[in-house]
Structure 1
Amino acid sequence: MSTGTPLLVVGDALLDRDLVGTAERLAPDAPVPVLDGCRELLRPGGAALAALLAARAGRSVTLVAPLGTDAASRQVRALLEPLVTLVTLPLDGPLPEKTRVMAGGRPVVRLDQGTGRAAGPCERALRAVAEAPAVLVADYARGAAEVLREVLAACAPHTALVWDPHPRGGPPVPGARLVTPTGEEARRFAGDGAADGDSLGAVARTAAELVRRWRAVSVAVTLGRRGALLCQGDGPLVVPAASQHSGDACGAGDCFAATAAGLLGDGALPAEAVQGAVAAATRYVAEGGARTATTGPSSTAVPGVPVPEADALHLARRVRAASGTVVAAGGCFDLLHAGHVSLLQQARGLGDCLIVCLNSDASVRRRKGEGRPFTPLRDRIRVLQALQCVDAVAVFEEDTPEGLLSRLRPHVWVKGGDYAVEQLPEAAQLASWGGQAVLLPYLDGRSSTLLATRAAAGLAAARRTTAPAGASPPVERR
């Protein structure tokens, strides 16, 4: 089931191929590595990968891209059509292909072939762009963005338009809501206006120059493991990655841009969109990067929408398949405070993903009493998803999360407090599949109940201070 605003992706499709094996010896006839156990992995590339990742996140996606009748075009169609609606531009020549030879998880060499370019627009593509509420231009310098440039420029003022530029492509159209160059691309685009160095200050000055030069609403410079820097012409906003991973980052930029475009289409501010995009790209690398680009659901969720359990289960399976560590933490998280944040940040540091098991409103009410939760489920989900240390949220209706844990089967279950691990009711359950329940230090003096009590006391004191002398106390109306 699709959720969120539909997304239109405009750009150049590629066919990406990985030849994966192990290299433990050199060839006898030349000093080159021999790739043993070689297997071929195919995936959509370029704009087609961005479209696939957005569709896997549960969004309705249409891709406008040049595709022909050659073998590579047919393979891309087959990889996309179960999830993505295709609007094809005419293609002049064979579809570009990029082949990486991978040894031990690292690229050894890349082979490029195919010179196909967009041959022109078509009426269906022009109409799709003009009517789209959210557009991502994934420019791979093969002509798709240029043949549709006029209609893209016309829709920019009233559309959530994100432009992911290419050094050999044209500049984004004026009025783009967000432009997403990498640090190296930003320096090349700015030319003489680029600041020296790669410090955050230098990146901020370069980004400000690009906002002015491109007449963009905002520019987000992606910085790999450092996260991203957002500039809207004034003071920059740095959005760091919650964690760093050494996995395959191929396609992380496409994930970033697709997530940001979808969130802007949903009504998010640029800062909110960039925060969500950094979190999504970080998860993408943590789960295995490009090798996860197959059809199926994704863990990326629409902020504030009750999260399907399948998303969290899918994330847990992916991390386990990559030999990673799945960490889970549970609670009501009503009136999120510093103690909660500290606990979740520490929990995320114990593994490769963090899944929060969240009590439903009814579950909180049974545990905490009438009047709770103070914050409804949709808002609690949205606040938790905004934390970069949280990779997924799953809601359970029962009083305890044992049923959900039996399906997630995390390696680590985290609780905060000062009691013994043996007292945790989940400890035996975790041990049954080889997992471990752990306790983390909790910040003293922080709790939702204490916050609510202090707020009520402060309100009562304010009323006493402002009430006229001799006035009767206000009568509560029910």
Structure 2
Amino acid sequence: MTARQPVVVVGDALLDQDVTGEATRLAPDAPVPVVEVAEERCRPGGAGLAAALAARDGREVVLVTALGGDPASESVRAMLPAGVRLAELPLDGSLPVKSRVLAGGRPLVRVDRGGGSAGPPGAGVRRVLEEARAILVADYGQGAVSAVRRSLTEAARRVPVVWDPHPRGRPPVAGARLVTPNAREARWFCGERDRDGDDSLRAHSRRGALLAERWQVGSVAITLGCRGAVLARANCDDPLYVPVTAGHDGDPCGAGDCFAASATGVLADGGLPPEAVGLATEAATSFIAGGGMASLTSWREGRERREPPPPAPVGAGDVGALVESVRARGGTVVAAGGCFDLLHAGHVQFLENARRTGDCLIVCVNSDDSVRRLKGPGRPFNPAADRIRVLAGLGCVDAVAVFDEDTPEPLLRRLRPDVWVKGGDYSVRDLPEAAALREWGGQTLVLPYLDGRSTTELARRAAYASP
């Protein structure tokens, strides 16, 4: 990819305020917690936050937003990083202020006040949009995006446009390269008012494809928090699932803005949507692990990070009993397959990512005869008993099952998993077992292996190194 290209961020800026403290008692006049305030912090919010995040890697950023002469507008102007240049729309009214009260790091209440309407763009704003090489739209429904919508429609025909939507905002312009709602927003846009609706990867993929078709955009990435993201296109039943490589506890506020800003940067530099979503997922996870919004206000180097605890070991156990147990509590059964002859880092990452897609992972392993027919004489290097023992020792593996056929299809028909995961450069359409999964409503996913790791390469190097 080329050097970092400049990005234009368009949308509604806000002033975010966090009031933090501890709550150890209830108020005597009402059953509400009393917060002993320890600190108050302010920062740019909305499109202002997206612009600040986009500029964190030294990228040149222009923020097109509505600001006035009120104190909140002046505060946002003063707090924007040096790498963010303003192209202002007139603001009739005051800038919205969003205040959160947190106790013990957890939000208790949010108070919103203020608000105004954006005026028409001047020549300077129009020139910025005409010369933009990539645009991120953060539409919070305050009018800034509506004021320049015609220019955004024209821009989407020639440069990457990433649209971070909000239920109060307008739909994305046709031709946008990538739209990034979170799971709750995607349900809302699809007309689902049940906050506890279908949370399966299949449902999120269906929503993404539906929205991509309805909005006439290139692709839709639905962010799923600690589960990663699903990238879908219109009229395509081959979605891409991007899991997180490591989960982290922390305040998720701002993670969506970080995701959208990172994806825009990748597209601006010439990347494709799958690459953009993969890198954006990693960036959002790292943002939370590094302290989230607190890291933007303190700018402290070497901030202590809390690493996730190692996964607890789980015995393989009886496969049938495991499936029944998981299904009885409404969980998702995931199966993954392969020879796993010489287990390497690529296999481990693949299995860890597969486990994150559901509530248990069953590894379907080719028998020795099956491997021999598939790979040729001299394979497998390790007998099935050894391969099973190594796989069962991984914390992400709940059970191991062996199949003797050329494909795992007969075993899958017995297990009937909710999700079947395969690793490598396959397409879902190329997998013969995908048709079987559809018979009982299962979903097939393809996850990439770690680049540069393969059993064949390990064997070649070992043979070359031997005396």
- TM-score in terms of structure 1 length: 0.64
Letter in structure 2 aligned against 1:150: R
Quote the Cα distance in structure 2 between the aligned partners of 1:338 and 1:77.
54
Q: In angstroms, what is the RMSD of aligned CA positions?
A: 3.3
Change in 2 beyond 3 A, CA 1:101/1:295: closer
Letter in structure 2 aligned against 1:286: A
Quote the Cα distance in structure 1 between the aligned partners of 2:179 and 2:253.
19
Change in 2 beyond 3 A, CA 1:452/1:62: farther
Aligned residue for 2:277?
274
**Cα displacement (A) at 1:326:** 12
Aligned residue for 2:212?
211
**Cα displacement (A) at 1:344:** 8.0
CA contact 1:339–1:447 (8 Å) conserved in 2:
no
Quote the Cα distance in structure 2 between the aligned partners of 1:445 and 1:323.
32
1:262 pairs with 2:265: yes
> Aligned runs of 1:105-144 on 2, under 5 Å?
105-144=105-144
**Cα displacement (A) at 1:343:** 7.8
Q: Which runs of 5+ in 2 are unaligned?
A: 311-341, 354-452
Aligned residue for 2:253?
250
Given candidates 339, 344, 348, the residue that maps to 1:339 is 344
1:40 pairs with 2:43: no
**Cα displacement (A) at 1:28:** 3.1
**Cα displacement (A) at 1:287:** 1.1
Quote the Cα distance in structure 2 between the aligned partners of 1:241 and 1:56.
21
**Cα displacement (A) at 1:136:** 0.2
**Cα displacement (A) at 1:27:** 2.6
CA contact 2:19–2:37 (8 Å) conserved in 1:
no
Quote the Cα distance in structure 2 between the aligned partners of 1:35 and 1:4.
44
Quote the Cα distance in structure 2 between the aligned partners of 1:279 and 1:50.
16
Quote the Cα distance in structure 1 between the aligned partners of 2:243 and 2:138.
23
Letter in structure 1 aligned against 2:267: L
Aligned residue for 2:239?
236
Quote the Cα distance in structure 2 between the aligned partners of 1:148 and 1:455.
63
> Aligned runs of 1:189-208 on 2, under 5 Å?
189-191=189-191, 197-208=198-209
Aligned residue for 1:289?
292
Letter in structure 1 aligned against 2:344: G
- Map Cα deviations across residues 33-69 of structure 1 (whole Å, 9 max, x no partner): 2212431011110010011011112211111111111
CA contact 2:89–2:121 (8 Å) conserved in 1:
yes
Quote the Cα distance in structure 2 between the aligned partners of 1:3 and 1:198.
39
CA contact 1:65–1:89 (8 Å) conserved in 2:
yes
Quote the Cα distance in structure 1 between the aligned partners of 2:4 and 2:461.
33
Change in 2 beyond 3 A, CA 1:347/1:175: closer
Aligned residue for 2:389?
none
Change in 2 beyond 3 A, CA 1:69/1:447: farther
- Map Cα deviations across residues 319-364 of structure 1 (whole Å, 9 max, x no partner): x1x565899xxxxxxxxx973446889999xxxxxxxxxxxxxxxx
Change in 2 beyond 3 A, CA 1:338/1:164: farther
Determine helix, strand or coil for the equivalent of 1:207: helix
Quote the Cα distance in structure 2 between the aligned partners of 1:60 and 1:20.
32
> Aligned runs of 1:86-97 on 2, under 5 Å?
86-97=86-97
Quote the Cα distance in structure 1 between the aligned partners of 2:299 and 2:104.
26
CA contact 1:49–1:293 (8 Å) conserved in 2:
no
Q: Which runs of 5+ in 1 are unaligned?
A: 298-313, 328-336, 349-443, 457-478
Aligned residue for 1:30?
30
Aligned residue for 2:84?
84
**Cα displacement (A) at 1:448:** 7.1
Letter in structure 2 aligned against 1:49: L
- Map Cα deviations across residues 356-376 of structure 1 (whole Å, 9 max, x no partner): xxxxxxxxxxxxxxxxxxxxx
Aligned residue for 2:368?
none
Quote the Cα distance in structure 1 between the aligned partners of 2:343 and 2:61.
38
Quote the Cα distance in structure 2 between the aligned partners of 1:101 and 1:193.
27
Quote the Cα distance in structure 1 between the aligned partners of 2:193 and 2:72.
40
CA contact 1:260–1:274 (8 Å) conserved in 2:
yes
Letter in structure 1 aligned against 2:92: D
Aligned residue for 2:163?
163
Aligned residue for 1:72?
72
Letter in structure 1 aligned against 2:201: L
- TM-score in terms of structure 2 length: 0.65
Quote the Cα distance in structure 2 between the aligned partners of 1:49 and 1:115.
17
**Cα displacement (A) at 1:245:** 2.0
Determine helix, strand or coil for the equivalent of 1:114: strand
